[in-house]
């Protein structure tokens, strides 16, 4: 993907960040889990619903409205979940004042929520050009590029963001996700350590830090990180599952079974939780319960078209039913 095609008509560096106009959408559209695959980049402009009053459309193009007012209107439309009108308002804001970085930034977020990744990348890029110190714009630009299947370029912009905003946890978090995608797991672990340092209330950062420790064969640290993620989000199915996997490794079968149970309670469709519970019951010598769990897991894996894990579940079903 080449997300920054064409000449971007930018004005001089924007002087002062309007924090209250950024904070409301600061984390919207960011990658919160490992991105897999390369989604098609939707670039067509979404049509405005026919039910939209004509008076609203007239206001969007009112020549007497200032860029700041269009920005505020756009944020109001976002809160009302009216993304087409929000996009139109932010577009007007940047047309009137190309140096208004929050308008570029929020336009990028609105594009991202509309699955217009190419347009989102261009808008976040424009925000960084207007204000090269805008760390959140780099974080979102990196997230969109990663989602679009370009981790190398994502990393280059995330590195720039870290240089200008070294204490912004979401930059380190998105950088960690990108490094994982590039199979640079040791570097990813270091990035997640910094993400937890600067965003101690982020359950996702703690979870991925735990995965990093687990991959580096550091089960004590992994367990601690998964427990931290769960303390921050008591319905974190993946964190409960990963905690259970560490407990299985430590052969604390009952603890593992409890973790897998909580994982399934947090997400009834999470096939891994039932699979892990089956392993726990199997280790405890309760083949009847293990068979039931593996059956649940297999059926969910079949529904999700995950044939590899369907086969694994069937293999274990043969063992416990023989």
pLDDT value of residue 62 = 59
Span 66-87, mean pLDDT?
Answer: 95
pLDDT greater than 90 at residue 29:
no
Inter-helix orientation angle 307-321/287-303, to 10°: 160
14 lies in some domain:
no
pTM listed for this prediction: 0.79
- Give the number of domains in the chain: 1
Residue 197 makes CB contacts below 8 A (sequence gap 6+) with 169, 172
277 lies in some domain:
yes
pLDDT in tens, 203-221: 999 999 999 999 999 999 9
270 lies in some domain:
yes
Name the more confident of 262 and 1.
262
Of 65-69, 207-211, 237-241, 303-307, least confident by mean pLDDT is 65-69
What's the domain range around 315? 251-322
pLDDT greater than 50 at residue 123:
yes
Span 47-71, mean pLDDT?
Answer: 53
Residue 272 binned pLDDT confidence (cut-offs 50, 70, 90) = very high
Span 166-186, mean pLDDT?
Answer: 97
Residue 34 binned pLDDT confidence (cut-offs 50, 70, 90) = very low
21 lies in some domain:
no
Phi then psi for residue 219, to 5 deg, are -65, -30
The CATH number assigned to the domain holding 319 equals: 1.25.40.10
């Amino acid at each position: 993907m080449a997300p920054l095609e064409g000449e971007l008509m930018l004005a001089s560096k924007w002087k002062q960040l309007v924090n209250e106009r950024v904070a409301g959408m600061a984390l919207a559209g960011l990658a919160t889990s490992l991105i897999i695959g390369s989604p098609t980049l939707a670039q067509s402009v979404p049509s405005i619903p026919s039910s939209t009053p004509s008076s609203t459309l007239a206001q969007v193009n009112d020549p007497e409205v200032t860029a700041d007012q269009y920005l505020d209107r756009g944020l109001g439309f976002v809160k009302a979940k009216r993304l087409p009108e929000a996009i139109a308002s932010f577009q007007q804001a940047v047309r009137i004042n190309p140096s208004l970085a929050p308008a570029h930034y929020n336009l990028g977020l609105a594009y991202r929520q509309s699955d217009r990744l190419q347009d989102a990348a261009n808008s976040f890029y424009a925000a960084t050009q207007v204000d090269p110190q805008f760390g959140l714009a780099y974080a979102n630009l990196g997230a969109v590029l990663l989602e679009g299947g370009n981790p190398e370029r994502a990393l280059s912009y995330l590195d720039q963001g870290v240089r200008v905003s070294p204490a912004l946890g979401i930059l380190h978090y998105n950088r960690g996700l990108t490094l994982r995608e590039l199979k640079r797991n040791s570097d990813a672990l270091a990035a997640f350590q910094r993400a937890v340092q600067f965003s101690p209330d982020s359950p996702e950062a703690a979870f991925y830090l735990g995965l990093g420790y687990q991959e580096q064969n550091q089960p004590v640290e992994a367990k601690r990180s998964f427990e931290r993620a769960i303390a921050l989000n008591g319905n974190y199915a993946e964190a409960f599952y990963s905690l259970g996997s560490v407990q299985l490794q430590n052969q604390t079968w009952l603890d593992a079974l409890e973790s897998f149970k909580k994982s399934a309670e947090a997400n009834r469709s999470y096939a891994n939780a039932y699979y892990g519970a089956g392993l726990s019951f199997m280790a405890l010598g309760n083949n009847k319960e293990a068979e039931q769990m593996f059956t649940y897991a297999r059926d969910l894996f079949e529904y999700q078209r995950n044939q590899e894990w369907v086969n694994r579940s069937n293999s274990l079903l043969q063992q416990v039913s023989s």
